[in-house]
Amino acid sequence: MGQIRKLIRDQEGVALIVALGAISIMVIIGVIVAALTMNNQKTVSHDKQQTAGQNIAEAGIYYAIAITRANYYSVYPNGVVPESAGDGTSFFSSPQALTGSQGNQAGTYEVWTKKDPDRPGNVLLTAKGTLTGSSAPNETVRVSVKFVPQIFDNVLFVG
């Protein structure tokens, strides 16, 4: 009986050490999971802002193309596309606001136009989209477009 008591006395602190070790491992795993979750959340938020900025820039490109298709000779008098340095000549006089479905401003875009130096006969449209209230950088979209005159706008076929 004395031997059993001696064994129990020798192992009195072991349970506490095992418990502290298990708790330490669980705390370390919890901290790692929390850090990974926060990092992933920041990455997803940044990616969403970049995608929104790119979508705003693309909206500016589509709007500029629609205006040009409807009024080509007003936009480019005598069909002459400007040759400019940098991004080109500003298409709009100021940044254009893009509103969301609830009427709030989603962001702004600016569009520039010039002759495409790499594709003769094409127009290079460059748009910069800026998300409202965002710390994400502006997103830029470049599109080379060839405008073809509509030859059948005023044709009357007699049958």
Judged on CB neighbours under 10 Å (0-12, 13-18, 19+), 7 is: exposed
Residue 100 to residue 52: CA distance in whole angstroms? 12
| pLDDT tens-digit readout, 75-117 | 888 778 888 777 888 888 888 888 878 888 888 999 999 998 8
Q: Write down the pTM of the prediction.
A: 0.72
| pLDDT tens-digit readout, 25-75 | 999 999 999 999 999 999 998 888 888 889 999 999 999 999 988 888 888
- Residue 137 is given by DSSP the state P
- Nearest Cα neighbor of 99 from 49, 56, 141 is 56
